[in-house]
Homo-oligomer: A and B are copies of this chain.
């Protein structure tokens, strides 16, 4: 499994290295889950539909990147986010033809699928479920990207749990109901430092900061930059995340707003320019 996983990434990167100026983005997406039992029925989850990551992949592909998409199993997939949000509507738009084939009566969907078909071979999709699986795969992909040097972008949109229960403290079986449940979770080692300084030390690294309190957002973004020394932090607030984000670098704060269209179009367009600049610096 592990060897196959590494082989598929290395082959994808090797193909990209050969193409002059070919950029590759690693996009992580969706929430990690933290098991609370060894045979786990209950999990601590970070909320994420994976919409941001999936839509960002579409934009990276449109701009000529090859993309490694490391996503939570079952979360949004590029070109299918609309469908996931409304499965029933999707079903209602299906038509079974006389030829025994199913047709989708939705012009916008067809346009998306045309886009997908153009970029299909530029997308490598990899799944994770738990926090541990995510961290293990993140490391492997980052290491594999090193030969690309500055042409690699690492875009960390996954919602990673800050807390976990260490293996040796997990109960074996489903916790039985009693009057109350006391959980003690330990802090997840901060991986961003490893990513920025070791695993993907030569890449363009973009991390995310999701907060609910507007007053601490910018300072938290700046703190992350100074702690980990990477290139960009994208900050967003839970309530307004589909319409507003801020792009924070060591020297600037850019506000990005979108109402009628997906904000990922503007966001990736800005990051594209920053990555270009980073490559020539």
> Which A residues contact B (CB, under 8 angstroms)?
33, 36-37, 39-47, 49, 74, 77, 79-80, 84-85, 87-88, 90-92, 94, 96-97, 100-107, 109-110, 113-114, 116-117, 120, 125, 159, 161-163, 173-174, 177-187, 210-213, 238-239
Query: Which residues of the other chain, B, contact A180 by a CB distance below 8 angstroms?
Result: 163, 184-187
Name the contact of A44 in the complex, choosing from B42, B74, B84, B179 (C-beta under 8 A).
Answer: B42
Query: Which residues of the other chain, B, contact A179 by a CB distance below 8 angstroms?
Result: 186-187
Interface of A (DSSP majority class): mixed
Cβ contact within 8 Å between B91 and A101 = no
Cβ contact within 8 Å between B41 and A43 = no
Name the contact of A88 in the complex, choosing from B49, B117, B125, B187 (C-beta under 8 A).
Answer: B125
Task: Tell me the bound Cα distance from A47 to B40 in angstroms.
Answer: 8
Query: Which residues of the other chain, B, contact A103 by a CB distance below 8 angstroms?
Result: 97, 101-104
Cβ contact within 8 Å between B41 and A47 = yes
Name the contact of A173 in the complex, choosing from B77, B186, B213 (C-beta under 8 A).
Answer: B213
Nearest opposing residue in chain B for A186, CB measure: B180
Name the contact of A185 in the complex, choosing from B88, B117, B181 (C-beta under 8 A).
Answer: B181
Query: Which residues of the other chain, B, contact A41 by a CB distance below 8 angstroms?
Result: 46-47, 159, 210, 212, 238
Given contacts A41-B46, A41-B210, A42-B45, 14 further A-B contacts (CB under 8 A): A33-B45, A40-B47, A44-B44, A45-B45, A77-B88, A100-B110, A101-B110, A102-B104, A102-B113, A163-B180, A163-B181, A173-B212, A173-B213, A181-B187
Query: Which residues of the other chain, B, contact A79 by a CB distance below 8 angstroms?
Result: 91
Query: Which residues of the other chain, B, contact A44 by a CB distance below 8 angstroms?
Result: 36, 42-45
Cβ contact within 8 Å between A107 and B100 = yes
Are A113 and B88 also in contact (CB < 8 A) when A101-B103, A184-B182 are? Answer: no
Query: Which residues of the other chain, B, contact A106 by a CB distance below 8 angstroms?
Result: 102
CB pairs A–B below 8 angstroms (17 shown): A39-B213, A40-B238, A44-B44, A49-B74, A80-B90, A91-B120, A94-B116, A162-B177, A163-B181, A174-B212, A174-B238, A178-B187, A180-B186, A180-B187, A181-B186, A182-B184, A183-B185
How close is A66's CB to chain B, nearest CB, in angstroms? 16
Task: Tell me the bound Cα distance from A43 to B161 in angstroms.
Answer: 10
Name the contact of A109 in the complex, choosing from B80, B102, B120, B187 (C-beta under 8 A).
Answer: B102
How close is A58's CB to chain B, nearest CB, in angstroms? 12
